[in-house]
Structure 1
């Protein structure tokens, strides 16, 4: 009996072009975010993207994470289209060879990118706590590419492929954790120790700081403004959260609690306008309660960028 010729499924025919299109979309998105990060501009997708781009997770080895994302998408694009550029009628052997070489590389790349994106989705939900359409979209793209590499051709042994994929996934996850555990990274021992409550200081500030927050904090210091507060005061903590974990260290903060770290209780007691915490003294004006960054910018005459990544709403 003759063996029936295997029918070519549509997904086998179109998997490479689809991967190329997806990689192109991802390359455009990550390229835009890289340019946004390098130029200190605001991404057009709300404050969520700003929080992500200004967080500690957005930098890898001193470079924007999105730059590595763009490079990964570009590599997937090249691997996907390389065999398609060879005319099978003129050089069928070369095209077949390129397909044999690039398919495993596409699978490795898609698996690694999917695992990395999955980890970042976890970070987005548990640490950054922001909605970033670009990040979510990129994660969806990597999952789609993985499925296309898995079902986009007839693998000789799909079980062995999945076993190899699980090993690749573990290596990618360990590598991801290792990258972020370098000194100064968000998973480094020093960083983790820094977020532990310190006596007389209060809970740690966990939000990211953008360029605008840092410049406003420095401006308030330059004009000799003051924020009177107490380490145990929840509204004072809310105020610090608006500046973020980097910029809040530069605000002109005066600790009024007697048992607070570097307490200046006598100074606080000498200012009758302080009726609660926090109280801001800005250009001779006293502002009671936690203030929005925009309000502090207006009261202090700050004229720098106001694309704050943290809001009180």
Structure 2
């Protein structure tokens, strides 16, 4: 009597395991995508948590092809989730040949996806350690998810042609790395803003290249125009309050939108520093106002989280002055 060889447990449970990890990745990147698109601050950037997290998520590396990097991670995890569960969900037991073809196809898609995600995550870990020199729990978690899915993909199937597997891995890794280096080749950690010479508004981007001063954060390098100054004066008169933390790059982006002269007007009476280690810190006021992220504006009793454009602040407060603002984000 011929005994049928039992299926190793890892082969039986690898797809559900990959789908589970991809599910965690979807939650992770989905949350970051939402925060990035809404201009909010992730929970790791509150005063009680690691400051470096916000530096990472506000850096030029947090944008890929003009879109938030977590958005691409979200799409990748959704793809891995579908590839892992598709053969299980579509298994009717009627057409064994078609089922086998679907399993083989999705295994290769899982392998290619896991290789690409692992290589890309490896590059981001290099940036994290040697360029930004910061800690980002979300980024590290995503890298671990990608690596774990790669291990499960390799060990979860009885691959027949190891040579083809290695060749595919090499090609995918090279294409991913070259593409990544190409996309990020123009990224520079400089935080300087180049003023427009043609009268058009200038885009604001900021990447910290030095530690912030607890007294004021980073130096405001943009200059205000008449519109920024008029809006700042209007915000003060309307009773608007801005809650900030000196170490928050998003808060500094808000300052850069106003310019030095206009923001000085706001900071004198309408800004509340929430960092407890700042000489100006009043964390009790921030707690009383139920501030969860920085910057946050409280206008007419309503809280607006994240960096607000000057146009939006003007609209919220009924500003009717000049609107030829010099900067945008």
Matches of 1:53 and 1:9 in 2, distance apart?
Answer: 41
Among 65, 74, 80, which residue is 2:78 paired with? Answer: 74
- Paired residues of 2:29 and 2:73 also in contact (CA < 8 A): yes
The structure number with the bigger radius of gyration is 1
Could you say which residue in structure 1 is the equivalent of 2:137? 133
**After the TM superposition, which residues 22-33 of structure 1 pair with which residues of structure 2 at under 5 Å, given as runs?**
22-33=21-32
Q: TM-score, normalised by structure 2?
A: 0.60
Could you say which residue in structure 2 is the equivalent of 1:8? 7
1:66-112 per-position Cα deviation (integer Å, ceiling 9, x unaligned): 00000000011111111111234223222211101111111000000
Among 145, 152, 167, which residue is 1:148 paired with? Answer: 152
Could you say which residue in structure 1 is the equivalent of 2:117? 113
Distance 1:41 1:283, change over 3 A: closer
- Paired residues of 1:108 and 1:168 also in contact (CA < 8 A): yes
Distance 1:246 1:172, change over 3 A: farther
Could you say which residue in structure 2 is the equivalent of 1:232? none
Distance 1:123 1:150, change over 3 A: same
Distance 1:292 1:87, change over 3 A: closer
- Paired residues of 1:30 and 1:66 also in contact (CA < 8 A): yes
Among 63, 69, 83, which residue is 1:65 paired with? Answer: 69
User: Cα offset for 1:217?
Assistant: 7.7
Could you say which residue in structure 2 is the equivalent of 1:307? 294
Matches of 2:34 and 2:144 in 1, distance apart?
Answer: 22
Q: Does 1:167 align with 2:171?
A: yes
SS of the counterpart of 1:140?
helix
Matches of 1:250 and 1:150 in 2, distance apart?
Answer: 53
1:243-277 per-position Cα deviation (integer Å, ceiling 9, x unaligned): 86996797649xxxxxxxxxxxxxxxxxxxxxxxx
- Paired residues of 2:55 and 2:208 also in contact (CA < 8 A): no
SS of the counterpart of 1:102?
helix
User: Cα offset for 1:48?
Assistant: 3.1
- Tell me how large the CA RMSD over aligned residues is: 4.4
Among 157, 178, 181, which residue is 2:182 paired with? Answer: 178
Number of matched pairs: 241
**Relative contact order, CA 8 A, sep 6+: which one is greater?**
2
Q: Structure 1 regions of 5+ residues with no counterpart?
A: 196-203, 225-237, 254-281, 285-290, 309-313
Q: Structure 2 regions of 5+ residues with no counterpart?
A: 46-50, 194-206, 234-245, 262-266, 270-274, 283-288, 296-329
- Paired residues of 2:87 and 2:102 also in contact (CA < 8 A): yes
